[in-house]
Amino acid sequence: MRNCHILNVVKLNFQVDNNVTRHLNGELNSEDWDVLLLHYLGLDHIGHLAGPRSPLVKPKLEEMDSIIKQIYISMLEKVLSAFNLK
């Protein structure tokens, strides 16, 4: 029963996290914000429910790494463009 609950939570968090990511490019390309808050739930919930050594943790960490890289590159491009270094 516990494994079924974990899989349902993981599936829900996958959908929620994908909805955040789905809108990320549009927000990064927008100029109408000074601070951007992204609320990803998946990794935290996986860790609490399945433990830090769960095979679900590594792929989620890799996903979060790629999102952080995407944000970093976008912000770097904006800074370089602002100073005509691009």
Contacts of residue 25, Cβ cutoff 8 Å, sequence gap at least 6:
70
* pTM for this entry: 0.82
Structure tokens at 56: 């679900």
In tens digits, what is the pLDDT along the chain, a chain of 86 residues? 566 666 676 676 778 899 999 999 999 999 899 999 999 998 998 888 889 999 989 999 999 999 999 999 999 999 999 998 86
Q: Which of 58, 61, 53 is nearest to 17 (CA)?
A: 61
Contacts 24+ apart (CB under 8 A), 1-8: 5/49, 6/49, 6/50
End-to-end CA distance of the chain: 54
CB distance 56 to 45 below 8 Å = no
- How many domains does the chain fold into? 1
